Structure 1
């Protein structure tokens, strides 16, 4: 959540978890409120001694278009109507965004999140978060109020939680905490922890001078920290919270947060009864002790970034960080029991996880899952063990090395003990790592004789990427541990838990792997070219080696064809190769592949090698598939000069997909989204544009409103009348590309599916310009609103669903009239 500048955000709701938007409460399209109330949050201006929601509190008004445009003026006092309404808007957005992000990680309806209506039917409804801003009750403060368990009236799932965001007079003019996102998100952190630890039917309270009280504060601080991270963040940054609210550069904590312990140095040793010299308050006071837990979680995030970024400094962010915090590792089965012991939430198995997301997303997942594994009134070491258990369930424990480093550097190491009770003082701190790590080690080498055995004369192969293929799909994804072999060809993985692991190496250009031999033996077990290793906890496994022989095509032209998902012209981590594409030497420079021109087809990883080594300048091109545009090289071709006896490498091509999707309601795409690769000149109407996914909607106008309005190729020239003939005109582009054929359907029974007997045009041949087609409306057609789909492409017999090679799809909302046309 950004701070420091005002910006207008359009359609910010995450429809996966807030499917009807933020202003709905009845699960029917259309808002029930046009102010700062909705399914997840009620926000209004507070009043003296008024428990949220303040019944007379003002709210920003969005009108029928839900446009909340009150501009905040920092030069005027917090209490003017303009600024109060701005604060209700800011708090409404911040809390809803936090709700949506956390739901992605498993703080969902079944886990006891805060919603007026639970759309899935899981969990208990009736508990939207109630927040008062600019509240006068306790100035220079903010709080979440709830009745904790085991009280009979505890605010468990289904019971409202109240948030007061007070104003402060430490600045001139005074300021409202509802305008400081670090404070707003911190308070959400209290509500999050209260519902997750012990399960949704246990409301975990904050006990004075206790470790659970410290975790309440620390969890809130950490949630603000991780949601404030950006690609420019650095482990040496000094991060403060509440700085704007208090008007103090030092923020509201005794120290800034930082991975650098010279800046933020809190450790478990600081949990003691001594008075802090700067505040005169005992170190067990929950806000002061909360700095310990927040520092641990923040370090955990950086250690995971270092692990997956391949460096122990800010440069790791380029590889390991994901700006999209909505991109969770995996939706988990949230706890739903009435006991204090929550059902584990992350036993998905690696094959069901999204390992392409970032290390910061992994940290968030472990933060959420760890609380679900934690029993009530825990100590710091209880919570530490719960995070370790969450990672074991999520990934098999491959991140324990990074987690233990974070815990140990903050004094919650292997031999730390938080005591038998959450109020225990003193405790035992520890900076030790577990004593029984195991390692998987090996070497990559140049197997000069190709026999799959390393001889003493065969050289090491540096910079070979070796990885743990957690989901065994043969592709290295961002959250799969990896090592790059050093100058001696060595690599090593550190593990604190045993289990089965698949160790693989990425292919090397100009080399062929010989160890393990990747050749598939007929009728033999599947050979993926990796090592299947079983590690016994505490027992290392060595000589997991990889051999590579120089390829038969060491002289030639080599490169990779890759999916350039962000269209930046560079193959970034996570962008995979594209198989089956022709790359060729355009000897006559006519921009097309001809018989006799040297060529190669990219392999499953997008790599290719052309056996060509004649001296001179040549042009290298690709055969561009329909539905893609070339992003690299920018010129569309590589002009290179071949030197006899030397290979030419890194002749890479990047493509970005350009696909046209339908926009009828999503029921029409249950059998697969209708899509066409875009090819210049092959379209209906005036043109066609690309979308990233189906633009489903009740009015079939999502594609109309995406970029340019390309839903212009079909005109119904007659009214649609039951038991009568009807006609349409279809405009076909006048370009010189080969003509396709038209398929069309009209949902006569309005059941949300295009059935086989509802096809009105089959393999319709067309010419450039206007083409008229007639069809009959059945007597039994459902009267009223329905939908039509028109597909133009090369495939004959194409159905209403699924991907087509090329062309365009257009969907229309249309009405069937009574048996008499309207005059």
Structure 2
């Protein structure tokens, strides 16, 4: 047997925080990370998916010595389903390290397969925690985990996730908290089919909500301004951009292996039983499929509409960078000197780094500049042409300015082509 022990030596008396058994294997039967929904792949057993640095204590709490049961009450997220009959939150439980539960799409009731849905949500959100850690959303930056292992920030703030939540349909919300307090994420069923569909299996909504808060962004709001400020994306334009950031992370992290520059992304297509999208337009680099530009925001008064414009710009950047650097279809990036080697993860990394460089309540122009500055800091500006072309194509070029009415600018700065 091989074990690692983690001890709190800062307080008296010293206590053991966790003991990891390196022989035991955690197995989750899920749709693998990156698979959008049951329409796009099959469930499989994923073994030991946690990242040893991002989740050095593992994903689960130690075995409950009273019940001898493991469950989805974990160190980064606490996930359970809500029952309209039984009430309360019900985690998935297992007498061992195998979380393997049956699931048949479009058969039976939501509750018939709640353990599979809870396991899917637990797996995806933990994968996001570990990926965002790799991309520098760490404890010091205000991420979400119970024990920060001496890495700065405040602990005791694992995300509480409620799946099959009653009270609404076709939606999800994220109730933000300051660093050191656990936020809450509610995922509601889709009611567009009979039987209803569990949104735990619509991976895009899990990514969107984990990345995004109801009026803030989990990732960007805690990195835009200090982690103890919940209001740095509260004005109308940045609040709308928050929706766009969440859509972008979902689109980028579920790019299909066969996808290319001409591929589109539809928000919640499976859950809604609709091959189009939950948004006004598909995300696309084709101006006939999605014609939105910076000035389109003038016509909108809802945050999701504004977010669609912002995500459309980021989607252009995603494919410009993939065209230049290629695409890594693995769940985590290959890094060289802190830089992802492929365009998909590089686009996410630059966007993430931009959060820390933009001011509180940024405008479109300021958020664009933060991404450009992030590329200068990370790569020396190697991708300036690809980034500028993406924004300029959608009207946020060099001459674009903040203010109303917004006017399109399709020009590039000097030295960029």
Does the pair score TM above 0.5? yes
Find 2:179's aligned residue among 140, 152, 157: 157
- Which one has a larger percent strand, Structure 1 or Structure 2? 1
8 A contact 2:339–2:346 mirrored in 1: no
State the partner residue of 2:312.
Answer: 295
Match of 2:98 among 55, 67, 72: 67
Residues in 1 aligned to 2:335 and 2:237: alpha-carbon distance in whole angstroms: 29
Name the counterpart of 1:99: 129
List per-residue Cα deviations over 1:639-659 (Å, max 9, x = no partner).
Answer: xxxxxxxxxxxxxxxxxxxxx
Distance 2:331 2:301 in 1: 33
In the other structure, the counterpart of 2:324 is 307
The aligned runs of 1:364-763 (5 Å cut-off) are 364-419=348-403, 425-434=404-413, 436-437=414-415
Q: In the alignment, what sits opposite 2:81?
A: 45
- Deviation string for 1:150-195 (max 9, x for gaps)? xxxxx21111111000112221111121221011111012121221
Change (3 A) 1:354 1:196: closer
Task: Please say if residues 106 and 197 of structure 2, whose CA atoms lie closer than 8 Å, have aligned partners that are also in contact.
Answer: no
Q: CA deviation at 1:55?
A: 8.1
SS in structure 2 at match of 1:119: coil
Aligned residues of 1:24 and 1:33 also touching (Cα < 8 A): no
For 1:25 and 1:113, how far apart are their aligned partners in 2? Answer: 22
Q: Distance in 2 between matches of 1:92 and 1:99?
A: 11
Match for residue 90 of structure 1 among 92, 112, 120: 120
SS of equivalent residue, structure 1 residue 91: helix
- Return the index of the structure with the highest Cα Rg: 1
Distance 1:33 1:128, change over 3 A: farther
- Measured after TM superposition, the shift of residue 206 of structure 1 is 5.2
Distance 1:88 1:251 in 2: 25
**1:97 Cα deviation (Å)?**
0.6
For residues 103 and 204 of structure 1, do their structure 2 counterparts lie closer, same or farther at Cα, with a shift above 3 Å needed? farther
Other structure's SS at 2:91 match: coil
In the superposition, relative to structure 1, how do residues 230 and 249 fare at CA in structure 2: closer, same or farther (>3 Å)? closer
Distance 1:74 1:307, change over 3 A: closer
* Preserved CA contact (<8 Å) 2:261 2:323: no
Preserved contact between residue 329 and residue 362 of structure 1 (Cα < 8 Å): no
Q: Which has the higher relative contact order, 1 or 2, with Cα contacts under 8 A spaced 6 or more apart?
A: 2
Residue deviations 1:619-664 (CA, integer Å, cap 9, x gap): xxxxxxxxxxxxxxxxxxxxxxxxxxxxxxxxxxxxxxxxxxxxxx
Distance 1:354 1:378, change over 3 A: closer
Q: Please report the TM-score for the alignment, with normalisation by the length of structure 2.
A: 0.84
- Equivalence for 2:219: 192
User: Gaps (5+ residues) in structure 2?
Assistant: 1-33, 213-217
Counterpart contact for 2:339–2:379, Cα < 8 Å: no
1:200, 1:373 → 2: CA distance?
14
* Match 2:274 to one of 226, 245, 248: 248
| 1:223, distance to aligned residue in structure 2 (A) | 0.6
| Structure 1 vs Structure 2 CA RMSD | 2.2
Offset of residue 205 of structure 1: 5.8
The structure that is helix-richer by fraction is: 2
- Tell me, yes or no, if structure 1 residue 14 matches structure 2 residue 51: yes
* Closer, same or farther: CA 165–391 of 1 in aligned 2, 3 Å: same
Matched, 1:234 2:260: yes
Task: State the distance in 2 between where 1:78 and 1:294 align.
Answer: 34
2:303 to 286, 296, 314: 286
d(CA) in 2 for partners of 1:285 and 1:33? 46
1-structure distance, mates of 2:98, 2:249: 28
Q: With structure 1 as the length reference, what TM-score do the two structures score? A: 0.43
Question: Aligned residue pairs: how many?
Answer: 370
8 Å CA contact 1:328–1:365 kept in 2: the answer is no
**1-structure distance, mates of 2:87, 2:220:** 28
Structure 2 CA distance for partners of 1:193 and 1:134, relative to 1, 3 Å: same
